[in-house]
Chains A and B, each alone.
Chain A
Amino acid sequence: MRITARLFLVAGTLLLAGLAAAQEGGFGNEEGITQSRDELWLTRIQYDSIGGQRQAYYYYDGRWWERWETDFPQAEQNFAKRLNELTSVVVSPVPLTRPLTHPSLGDSPLIFMSDVGYMELSRLEIEALRTYLANGGFLWVDDFWGDAEWASLERAMADVLPGKRWITLPIEHPIFHTVFDIEQMPQIPARDYARWGQGTTEPSFEHRRPTGSMKTPSIRAYTDDDGRLMVIATHNTDIADGWERESYGEWYFENFSTKSYRVGINVIVYALSH
């Protein structure tokens, strides 16, 4: 019985070690290769935010959250499942987290940042992101609302790519049509603010002020010299929340999750093909 217990202990330890390795992205080696084959690994970027409670971090659903981990990992896990089900893209079911300065960031040609309204990038992070984008990496920023949070992102990105100008993508842009034909950019509110018969805009007290009008969702982008998108920002909308909360009710799923997935799939296929 003791031997059996020890065996279980050893096996459990090995299993945990394996899971930990998987969470870090795989088997690793001297060069830091972390990803298998050419699968897509949904990669959430860890960053620092300025301010205190309700700014750099907040309390929700029984625990404290840093801004960068909003909706993580449930959003990515659900999105990975849907990508595997609905598309030909092969996606790892395990999402990654990476700081911008991680040596293997290049193994994730698509990275995702969320809730960037209070984001602050260090000099090293700025240089790393600049290199990453120059190499062909693709950055998707989501879930930030209003004028002040936009200004926060704009300042940070102006340091990364000085001189670049944001453009608002028209609905005719290929990113709205790679897989699904999206006729209108959807506004996805956090699940707590999605109520039948009410609007889709989140309340201004939830966001950095001044917010200005938050009624119009859009995709704003940086393009490279050849016109390809290199950074997109889904502003005044919370696409990832539509993934995270897909199981929170039929009404929410039909009205928000499906739209989130349509946008998400189009963005992923665009990033994988341009």
Chain B
Amino acid sequence: MWFEWLFKYPREAYAQGELGLAGDFGVLWWGAAAVLLTLGIVFGRRAARFSMLRRATVHLLQIAAIAVLLTLIAEPVLQVTRLAPGVNTIAVLVDSSASMALPAGVDGASRMDVAKRLIGDEIATASGGSTVALFQFDDNLRQTDAVRDVRADGDRSRLLESIADLATHFDQGALAAVIVITDGAHNGGSLGWESLADTGIPVHAVGVGQENIPGDVELAELVLPSRASPNTQIAARLVIRHSASRDSAQEIRLRVLDGESVLAAESITLDASATTVSTDVVFPSGGPGLKEITVALAGPSEDPLPGNDRQSSLLEVDRYRYRVLYLEGEPRWEFKFIRRAAAEDDDIELVSWLRTTPRKTYRQGTSDPDELADGFPSSLEALYRYHMVIIGSLPATSLDDEEHEWLARFVADRGGGLLAMAGRHALDNGGWDVKPLAEALPVTIARPGTNSTYVRGNYAAHPTDAGTRSVLTDIGGSESRERSWATLPMLADYQTLGTPKAGATVILEAGGGVERRGADVVVRGSAAKPLLVTQPYGYGRTAVLATASTWRWRMRTPPDDTRHSLFWRHLIRHFAGAAQPRRRLSLVADGDSLDVRVALKNPRFEPLTDTAVSVQVTAPDGESYDVALPRIAGQNAYGETIPATTPGIYRVEVAGLAGHPAMSEGPRPDALAALARVGEANREQFGAALNEPLLRRIAQATGGGYWRADDLSGLVEALAFSSAGIHERQQLPLWNAPFLFLLLVLLKCTEWALRRYWGGI
């Protein structure tokens, strides 16, 4: 508002236009310059008793004031292009999905009521001389004759697709701008908001609704692995959105259900410190079979959207073998007890390479005589047969440059897990600061120093806040997690770690007790230090464990204590479980269709694009049919959208892979099958709050603006200076813009004040 008063025209005009002078006063400018110079000389002689700095300051102020006057005389103008009246169209899109029936938060009106009022009043005014074309969108885009006929009853909001469709197919003359009135609850389609920039049409997003729906607790996201081994602990990742205030923190109950069976239950306290909470909930996978796992929140009884309190996901429980390569540079107890923990898990196959003497090694768990015969896997393909690598007390020089590169690629490309453990020859002691592997680790690795960072001492391991919610710390059985860790025997060593990197998570910390550095120095009561740090890297995950004495958790507890075993089994499963399959089938139910994508990689995990792929689709009624998948243009994947009109669970399985018979081999020959449920309910109740960030991004990407429903005052000018449509050129006079007069007054007042202060120059 102040901008337009001061500069006479809106920001849009200045952003789009160019400044210029309408008059032609070239000779006058030169004459003025000569007069100013003369005045300066005369003034300088008359005020010779004053310092050069003061004289120059006053003279510059005089010159500036005269320059402003001369500018006014030269007729300053703003040259702009404005929409030509009568020939342009402004498309108005109104969201007609069911979420628009929710309260707008203003006078009890619904979001749709507010949208209709805006279309009838402000937007009709703002369109100026342009034609208004009215559309509604939910699952699809369609033109509407009268706003009163629009109903908020669509079962999804394909916001981005609707804008893209409009911009691509509009053929009613020049489209100058799009106004979309919506709550931003986009819940259909896969288009990214960035792609709207290519349309060239400014989108002005008008947001209706509230960013926090009072009383609502929403299970916004449920992430489950699609497969799991029988009788293991599974971590479900939850994102909960709520509107709890700091003064009224509320406790909600969370349950994990397999049908009617409760697999896990816990309570979560919500308060205003974070309106979006991410947490893990751990539950047992149970026996083999296909399961529909439901996570349900028991929120407040007055929850306005009870339908968004639960989500379901399919989980296929089946056997899976994790192959782990453990490279250890010295026989030590940690090695023995890790092997024993892994041996307790039928799904873990631990292959170890142990340096027993400077020239001898000992292999265990190999599947054939040639495995690890040369020490480190002899090729990238051989390394990629593992899902996780553990590096013990082994100097970095044990591997050559190529093997270091392979290890980094193993994590980044293959998605393998990498755990680096403490030891005399581990981490910085072992020179593991070398690239590229150092980049993959979650802590900075220092250059080896003269003093070992691996010290003896008594440390208690305990989970951090993040660790408490991680499956990695779920070792307690029936005991609480906190108590399980508090009663563990102390560790007997610790290796100082570098700073955790930005994306890293500290899962465990080591609380100091007694520490000995070298022979004599004893430090008591040292502060907590990072003990287990993890981070994602590429497709995989890396971790650093700053101790090699977890074996005490086995040897210093009763024989039936399983905490040591569970810790290592969870660790291996978590990190090995991230490994990417060479064959990936993704299946997404989208309305009445299935989006099927298949990506294939060779044993070096390079994309395979020269094969023919077909899938067998089994509908909920048992009917099966084959569908050929063409290669997706520009992508290393094959895909197709398949109609799926029958509600229920669809199974899609890759039926044929011509040209690469080797793809059907491996530990999981059934890996190319997936399930999806068609016919989601309550979609419009999820993410129903006003999504202002998305609307702002759309506006920014397209050159439009974001407007709150209660303030469209700038929309008129924004439309008038829209960059799209048919324009006419105009010169807007600036000689009477207030800022020029204010500048002149300011210059003269400043000069006067200075002269008075300095004693009358």
Q: Which A residues are closer than 8 A to B by beta carbons?
A: 26-27, 29, 31, 33, 35-38, 40, 86-90, 106-107, 109, 131-132, 134-137, 178-179, 226, 228, 268-269, 271-274
Pick the most buried of B331, B335, B336: most chain A CB atoms within 10 A of its CB: B331
Residues of B within 8 A of A87 (CB): 331, 356-357
Complex Cα–Cα for A272 and B355 (A): 12
Minimum CB–CB distance from B710 to chain A (whole Å) comes to 65
Which stretch in B287-295, B486-494, B688-696 binds the other chain? B486-494
- Asked if B752 is at the interface (CB within 8 A of a chain A CB), the reply is no
- Asked if B59 is at the interface (CB within 8 A of a chain A CB), the reply is no
Q: Which residue of A lies closest to B555 (CB)?
A: A106
Minimum CB–CB distance from A57 to chain B (whole Å) comes to 32
Complex Cα–Cα for A274 and B354 (A): 12
- Asked if B659 is at the interface (CB within 8 A of a chain A CB), the reply is no
Interface residues of chain A: helix, strand, loop or mixed (majority): loop
**Cβ-defined contact, B552 with A106, below 8 A:** yes
Complex Cα–Cα for A137 and B549 (A): 15
Q: Which B residues are closer than 8 A to A by beta carbons?
A: 329-337, 339-340, 343, 352, 354-358, 360, 362, 364, 423-424, 454, 456, 458, 489-490, 492-493, 513-514, 516, 522, 548-549, 551-552, 554-559
Residues of A within 8 A of B554 (CB): 135-136
Residues of B within 8 A of A107 (CB): 492, 552, 555-556
Minimum CB–CB distance from B461 to chain A (whole Å) comes to 13
How many inter-chain residue pairs (CB < 8 Å) link A and B? 110
**Cβ-defined contact, A88 with B330, below 8 A:** yes
Minimum CB–CB distance from B494 to chain A (whole Å) comes to 10
Residues of A within 8 A of B558 (CB): 131
Select A88's contact among B337, B339, B356, B458, beta carbons within 8 Å.
B356
Closest 8 CB pairs of A and B: A134-B559, A106-B555, A272-B331, A36-B456, A106-B556, A88-B330, A37-B493, A38-B332
**Contact A179-B336, Cβ < 8 Å, known A35-B492, A88-B330, A136-B555:** no
Minimum CB–CB distance from A159 to chain B (whole Å) comes to 17
Residues of B within 8 A of A274 (CB): 336, 339, 364
Residues of B within 8 A of A26 (CB): 456
**Contact A31-B490, Cβ < 8 Å, known A36-B516, A109-B333, A136-B337:** yes
Minimum CB–CB distance from B287 to chain A (whole Å) comes to 23
**Cβ-defined contact, A29 with B513, below 8 A:** yes
Known: A37-B456, A131-B558. 12 other contacts (CB 8 A): A33-B492, A37-B424, A38-B423, A38-B551, A89-B330, A136-B555, A179-B356, A269-B331, A269-B362, A272-B331, A272-B333, A272-B336
Interface residues of chain B: helix, strand, loop or mixed (majority): mixed
**Contact A27-B516, Cβ < 8 Å, known A38-B551, A88-B329:** yes
Residues of B within 8 A of A179 (CB): 356-357, 360, 362
What would be 9 A-B contacts, judged by CB atoms less than 8 Å apart?
A: A33-B492, A37-B549, A38-B333, A109-B333, A131-B558, A137-B555, A269-B331, A271-B336, A272-B333
**Cβ-defined contact, A273 with B331, below 8 A:** yes
Q: Which residue of B lies closest to A180 (CB)?
A: B360
Minimum CB–CB distance from A107 to chain B (whole Å) comes to 7
Minimum CB–CB distance from A210 to chain B (whole Å) comes to 37
Minimum CB–CB distance from B451 to chain A (whole Å) comes to 15
Minimum CB–CB distance from B486 to chain A (whole Å) comes to 13
Q: Which residue of A lies closest to B355 (CB)?
A: A88
Complex Cα–Cα for A40 and B548 (A): 13
**Cβ-defined contact, A33 with B340, below 8 A:** no
Select A135's contact among B360, B362, B555, beta carbons within 8 Å.
B555
**Cβ-defined contact, A135 with B356, below 8 A:** no
Q: Which residue of B lies closest to A108 (CB)?
A: B555
Complex Cα–Cα for A35 and B492 (A): 8
Residues of A within 8 A of B354 (CB): 273
Complex Cα–Cα for A101 and B332 (A): 24
**Contact A88-B357, Cβ < 8 Å, known A29-B513, A179-B362, A273-B335:** yes
Residues of A within 8 A of B458 (CB): 29, 31, 33
**Contact A135-B336, Cβ < 8 Å, known A88-B355, A273-B354:** no
Residues of A within 8 A of B358 (CB): 88
Pick the most buried of A37, A178, A228: most chain B CB atoms within 10 A of its CB: A37
Pick the most buried of A33, A35, A132, A137: most chain B CB atoms within 10 A of its CB: A33
Residues of A within 8 A of B522 (CB): 27
**Cβ-defined contact, A109 with B336, below 8 A:** yes
Select B492's contact among A36, A90, A228, A271, beta carbons within 8 Å.
A36
**Cβ-defined contact, B332 with A90, below 8 A:** yes
Residues of A within 8 A of B337 (CB): 109, 136
Complex Cα–Cα for A136 and B454 (A): 26
Complex Cα–Cα for A273 and B558 (A): 22
**Cβ-defined contact, B559 with A131, below 8 A:** yes
**Cβ-defined contact, A27 with B339, below 8 A:** no
**Cβ-defined contact, A90 with B424, below 8 A:** yes
**Cβ-defined contact, B492 with A268, below 8 A:** no
**Contact A136-B340, Cβ < 8 Å, known A27-B516, A88-B356:** yes
Complex Cα–Cα for A271 and B423 (A): 19
Complex Cα–Cα for A201 and B237 (A): 68
Residues of B within 8 A of A132 (CB): 555
**Cβ-defined contact, A226 with B362, below 8 A:** no
**Cβ-defined contact, A272 with B514, below 8 A:** no
**Contact A33-B333, Cβ < 8 Å, known A107-B556, A135-B559, A273-B362:** no
Complex Cα–Cα for A137 and B337 (A): 10
Q: Which residue of A lies closest to B560 (CB)?
A: A134
Residues of B within 8 A of A178 (CB): 356, 362
Residues of A within 8 A of B339 (CB): 273-274
Pick the most buried of A26, A89, A106, A136: most chain B CB atoms within 10 A of its CB: A136
Complex Cα–Cα for A271 and B559 (A): 18
Q: Which residue of B lies closest to A272 (CB)?
A: B331
Residues of A within 8 A of B454 (CB): 37
Complex Cα–Cα for A36 and B493 (A): 7
Residues of B within 8 A of A228 (CB): 340
Complex Cα–Cα for A38 and B490 (A): 13
Complex Cα–Cα for A35 and B491 (A): 11
